[in-house]
Copies of this chain bind each other. A is one copy, B any other.
């Protein structure tokens, strides 16, 4: 509604009015709106944005639009945006833009900031250093509360990152933290040292983002300080970035569990050839592994030829085994990811899966037996062989599905690869082996 109306105002040349309306909108909504418009309109609207809002909107549009905007606007305008952007957003921008755009950005960045950017670019991908922002408030422990508040006002940083203030000594070592609300609630003449919290949980610049996310989850933090090797405060990580990391880590787990190489690009924005590249390797490995299952059938050629009816139950046995194994693997992989299951719970997990698989296996076997008899698909003897094999398969799949993820983690691998597809391939071979051995024995072939 508003958006149509604003476009109308712009069309009529009533730009001041349009600007007034736009400045009332939420920056995220403006960014989404711009992404659906054509080039010219985007530039017109972008130039109508108040200075601080322009930077915020800029940080929310896709990198294609960021590139277009930087290429289209004047140096002075670029400078305004870069000055207002969070440093970590600027670094992300530089990492994603082509060389000519990067040049234009750096030209409009002051020297001090350029130095900081270079330092940031050295942090490894997915490290705490690459995630942090340097826009935070630092205080000295000798300050009184009123002096601290004055210092915050003089600094004038109007960002969410000032909700928690950091107390450092003259070597920039972190000595305490104090939420801004505590400053407000405290007596103005109180000394910071007496009211700051000294039991600080911090992360190191090189810590992995998944670890950092785990700490936020555990302690319900809204921000965490990041320190370097000398324990000097170099930045902070805020919860809004962690929410993105959590979703990204979950997406990677979903992808790995479905036998794909992880990628954080959006599906619709990824080219078919790139998607295919992420999918082929595991499919190849699993395809070739599955030929072993075919090999097992080949070993039992005689059995299969004399009782062809045995073949008809193979898909059901294989599918049920795969599904039963996936269920267990999924629960364990998820439990490991959320730290609900530890490496020492190995035996507990196996024992629990044994009990569950016995309950599940017997239920399925009984239903299957009755179904075969009612539908007159095979003799009682064959039905019995199929059902006992089914129960055996379920037990094997669940124990393997529950055990392999923990084993992977113990070996320093990502448990997520031990999910459905791999478990299915392993279980298929075992299921067929159990089936044919039992058939050979019971049917006396």
Contact = CB atoms under 8 A, between A and B. Distances in A.
Interface string A347-365: 0110010011001100110
Contact of A371 (B182, B242, B291, B323): B291
A247 B163 contact: no
Interface stretch (A21-29, A38-46, A76-84, A125-133): A21-29
B348 A268 contact: yes
A392 interface: no
Interface stretch (A9-17, A108-116, A148-156): A148-156
A418 interface: no
A251 interface: yes
Interface string A281-292: 011101110110
A222 B185 contact: no
A425 B322 CA distance: 11
A150 B253 CA distance: 49
A354 to B, nearest CB: 9
Contacts of A276: 356, 359-360, 363
Interface stretch (A90-98, A332-340, A437-445): A332-340
Contacts of A156: 185
A20 interface: no
A396 to B, nearest CB: 15
A322 B254 contact: no
Given A218-B28, A324-B279, A334-B254, A311 B311 contact: yes
A206 interface: no
A315 B316 contact: no
Interface string A243-285: 1101100110111011110000011100011011001101110
B268 A291 contact: no
Interface string A136-153: 000000000000010011
Nearest to A368: B287
Contact of A267 (B218, B251, B324, B340): B340
Nearest to A319: B290
Contacts of A368: 287
Interface stretch (A99-107, A226-234, A296-304): A296-304
B272 A319 contact: no
B308 A301 contact: yes
Given A199-B25, A311-B311, A368-B287, A184 B149 contact: yes
Given A288-B371, A315-B432, 13 more contacts: A25-B199, A216-B243, A217-B243, A268-B349, A283-B320, A290-B320, A294-B314, A294-B315, A294-B316, A297-B315, A304-B311, A305-B305, A322-B322
Interface of A: 24-26, 28, 149, 152-153, 156, 158-160, 162-163, 179-182, 184-185, 198-199, 201, 216-222, 239-240, 242-244, 246-247, 250-251, 253-255, 257-260, 266-268, 272-273, 275-276, 279-280, 282-284, 286-288, 290-291, 293-295, 297-298, 301, 304-305, 308, 311-316, 318-320, 322-324, 326-327, 329-335, 338, 340-341, 345, 348-349, 352, 355-356, 359-360, 363-364, 367-368, 371, 390, 394, 420-421, 424-425, 428, 432
